[in-house]
Each structure stands twice: as C-alpha cells, then as structure tokens.
Amino acid sequence: MHRASPKTLAILFSLAQQHKHLVINVPKFRILIANEQIVRRAREIANQIQREMGDEPPVLVSVIEGARLFARQIQLGLGGRLPVHEIRAASYGKGTTSSGTVQISGGPSVPVAGRTVILLEDIVDTGRTIAALRERFLNDGARDCLVATLLSKPSRRVVNVLLNYVGFEIPDEFVIGYGMDIAGRYRELPDVVIYEAEVEQAAQSACS
Ligand code: IMP
C-alpha cells in the first residue's frame, strides 16, 4: 500500500480548509494507485491503441465527468491532435451503489456512422454504463465501439462487456480521485484512493 503523496496531502488539507464541515483525516485514506502509475499505464494504452488503429482515426468519446483526466492522457499519448468528444452517463446519484438505470446525454458532434468509436471510461463496475453506451453507438451506425477504461472491478460485473483496454483491475472497493467522485467530491485528487465512509465520519465527528 502506498503512502499519500505530498500533492494528495496538500489537496486534502486545502479541501478541509475550504469546507470546515468536511475535515478529512488524511493519513487514513489509502492510496490504491499513485498518479505516476496511472500516467504511465495510460501512455501504454495509448501506444497500444495507436498500434492497433491503423490509418483511420477513431472517434474518441470520454464518459464525463469521471473519465476526463484519463481521456486527456490518452489524447496526449495519441499525439494530442484527435479531439475528445464527451458524453454523460449517470447511474449513481449520491451514493456508492449503482441505481441500475443509465441515463445518457450529450455525445459527439461528428457522425459516427462507419467509424470506430473508442469509449474512454474511468471505471467499469457492473458494466451497465458501458453496455448502454456501446449499444447507443452501434445503433448510430458505428463500425465498432471499443472500450478503454482506467479501472475495472471484475468481481462486480453484472453485464458481460468486452473491455479492449484496461488500465488496472481493482478489488471491490469504492474509489475516488483522478476524476472519480463520491457525490461530486474528491475528483481533484491526483491518485486513486479508496473511499472509506467511516474514516470521513470519524474525522467529521472529531471536529464537531
Ligand atoms: P457501472 O455502470 O456499474 O459499470 O458503473 C460505471 C460508473 O459508475 C462509472 O462511470 C463511475 O461513474 C461509477 N462508479 C463505479 N464504481 C465507482 C467507484 O468505485 N468510484 C467512483 N465511481 C464509480
């Protein structure tokens, strides 16, 4: 297990200062994947995509908001010239378990018919979100719809989806940071961190 990086500590402390009601017991948050590992792995995935894509550029689609940072790394790894389109898919609301239904909004501003779409996702959990998005793009006439995800929790899968590029497989833990949130918080943490509600509650009650 890694120790919190100085940057993570700085961000957590500044969050705690801005939101006095949310004082975080920093040392107890466990880092699962450090920022440097994420960046390195994203580069490897981008290289693999580049090798496998041939001449025709794919349509990159980032599932916002969680995948923005990962999508940016992939975009840079592919040379920085391909645009990243955004699509919103929501199934979580405010908690740590999926509601089961996926609401999709937005999407690429270019036609996808006959092209290969690559969905850039932060984490695949039950698989419902990615399955719904793939279906949407294949219905729109995409020749293929591949999936690149930073994280995957295989033990949680409900829908069988093919993940073409996976950054890291992780155990059944709710994670935050590197774009991922719980109820809109902690996205800005540079590392992937295991969210522990009891840590947050203990820190809050210690300060109230
Ligand atoms: P799925 O549809 O169950 O695969 O859920 C995928 C979506 O749920 C992701 O795009 C995330 O927004 C969210 N999600 C799943 N697990 C986590 C987690 O551990 N932390 C943060 N968000 C998660």
Residue 122 annotated among the catalytic residues of the structure: no
Residue 1 contacts by C-beta under 8 Å, 6 or more apart in sequence? 30, 31
Residue pair 175/34 in contact (Cβ under 8 Å)? The answer is no
Any domain includes 165: yes
Q: What is the CA radius of gyration of the chain?
A: 18
Number of domains in the chain: 1
Q: Is 104 helix (H, G, I), strand (E, B) or coil?
A: strand
Any domain includes 157: yes
Taking the centre of ligand 1 as the mean of its atom positions, its distance from the CA of residue 78, in whole angstroms, is: 25
* Closest-lying ligand 1 atom to the alpha carbon of residue 174: 19
Tokens (6 digits) for 107: 């999407």
Residue 200 contacts by C-beta under 8 Å, 6 or more apart in sequence? 22, 24, 25
Task: Choose, from 125, 140, 181, 191, the residue flagged as catalytic.
Answer: 125
Residue 84 CA to residue 152 CA, distance in Å, equals: 21
Any domain includes 43: yes
Verdict on whether the full-model pTM lies above 0.75: yes
Could you report the per-residue pLDDT of 24-47, keeping only the tens digit for each?
Answer: 444 357 899 999 999 999 999 999
Task: Give me the domain span that covers residue 157.
Answer: 6-207
Any domain includes 1: no
Could you report the per-residue pLDDT of 120-178, keeping only the tens digit for each?
Answer: 999 999 999 999 999 999 999 999 999 999 999 999 999 999 999 999 999 999 999 99
Any domain includes 77: yes
Beta bridge partners of 88: 64, 105
* Closest-lying ligand 1 atom to the alpha carbon of residue 131: 2
CATH of the domain at 93: 3.40.50.2020
